[in-house]
Amino acid sequence: MESIYVDTDNLTPLVFILSTGADPTAMLYKFAKDKGLSDKLDTISLGQGQTEKALKLIQDSCISGSWVLLQNCHLSEEFMPHLENAVLGLPEVEEMNENFRLYLTSTPVEFFPVSVLQNGVKLTTEPPRGIKNNLKRSYAELTDEWLDDCKKKEIYRKMVFAVAFFHAIV
């Protein structure tokens, strides 16, 4: 995420192109926490009735310098023209905060605005292949502090491994 973050700015959205089994949300939350901005990351899962709320969030965050994550853009075809206008209008926003970032997640769909793709940074995340890689990914998001936050640490760690192993197989 650090190398991708360098390629973006407050006028360049980052578009996560989703594939089956991959969800970059946890990765983005972890990155925001590492940057000390976990309280400045606002998320909206798009769907019916979210257009006005999402547009207001983008407008407010441009000025406050918060990060915006609009999830599941593929579920809201009606929102796409509004998103295109919002992204193309970013350079015209007065008092634009340089810390503002716009993150979008979507599966490949025909109605996603081409101008947003052309003006943004695209990233595809693939789910890990194989049990070993799947376990590595699961454990990469766990911290020792989280694993040790239990009275019966040894049993808890074994249970976490069993669940992670089961998840990797499924």
Q: What is the pLDDT of residue 148?
A: 80
- Given this model, what pLDDT does residue 34 score? 83
Domain identity same for 78 and 96: yes
Contact 39, 47 (CB under 8 A): no
Residue 21: what pLDDT? 65
Kindly state whether residues 120 and 143 are assigned to the same domain: no
Count: domains in the chain: 2
Residues 94 and 141 in one domain: no
150 plus 107 within the same structural domain? no
Same-domain status, 53 and 68: yes
Q: In what order do the strands lie in the sheet with 41-45?
A: 41-45, 67-71, 101-106, 14-17, 121-124
- AA letter at 10: N
From the list 134, 132, 135, 61, the residue with the least C-alpha distance to 98 is 61
CA distance 145 to 151: 13
Does 113 share its domain with 147? no
Asked which of 90, 108, 124 is the last residue of a domain, the reply is 124
Helices (H), the chain: 2-7, 25-34, 51-64, 80-88, 114-119, 131-140, 144-147, 153-169
Domain range enclosing 155: 131-169
- Successive 10-residue mean pLDDT values, the chain, 170 residues: 80 84 77 82 84 89 89 86 88 85 88 87 78 82 78 87 86
- Residue pair 86/55 in contact (Cβ under 8 Å)? The answer is yes
162 & 92 share domain? no
Give the global pTM: 0.74
- Tell me how far apart the alpha carbons of residues 17 and 167 are, in angstroms, rounded to a whole number: 23
The amino acid occupying position 4 is I
